[in-house]
């Protein structure tokens, strides 16, 4: 994933570098290096970034792009009244991706 695309993806999810670093399991400095194009993610971090990118694609198919930040910040009964963003930050992109695939209309 290119540096500009990573930063744009992070912004679409309303995440600070700190939150993205936590999701992926790297340091904030590492995220900053990726966004500056100074280095690239490891294979494991790349897997997490692909899951986040897949999640973004599915959400854009389910919702208008401008409504995604609202959905991410809305507590949902299905998530034990947690927000999707909370699940993303605490459990990772792959966990939220699995949940979203369960509620996504067949495509």
pLDDT at 107: 59
Max CA distance (Å), the chain? 41
Tell me the two tokens of residue 79: 């998530």
Return d(Cα 7, Cα 58) in angstroms, integer: 19
Tens of pLDDT along 22-56? 999 999 999 999 999 999 999 999 999 999 999 99
Burial category of 15 from C-beta neighbours within 10 Å (exposed 0-12, middle 13-18, buried 19 and up): buried
Q: pLDDT tens digits, residue range 1-23?
A: 788 899 999 999 989 999 999 99
pLDDT value at residue 91: 92
Question: Taking the complete model, does pTM exceed 0.95, yes or no?
Answer: no
């Amino acid at each position: 994933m290119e540096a500009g695309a990573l930063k744009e993806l992070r912004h679409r999810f309303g995440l600070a570098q700190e939150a993205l670093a936590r999701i992926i399991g790297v340091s904030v400095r590492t995220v900053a290096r990726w966004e500056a194009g100074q280095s690239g993610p490891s294979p494991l971090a790349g897997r997490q970034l692909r899951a986040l990118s897949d999640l973004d694609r599915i959400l854009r198919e389910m919702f208008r792009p401008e409504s995604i930040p609202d959905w991410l910040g809305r507590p949902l009964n299905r998530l034990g009244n947690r927000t999707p963003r909370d699940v993303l930050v605490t459990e990772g992109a792959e966990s939220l991706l699995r949940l979203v695939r369960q509620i996504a209309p067949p495509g």
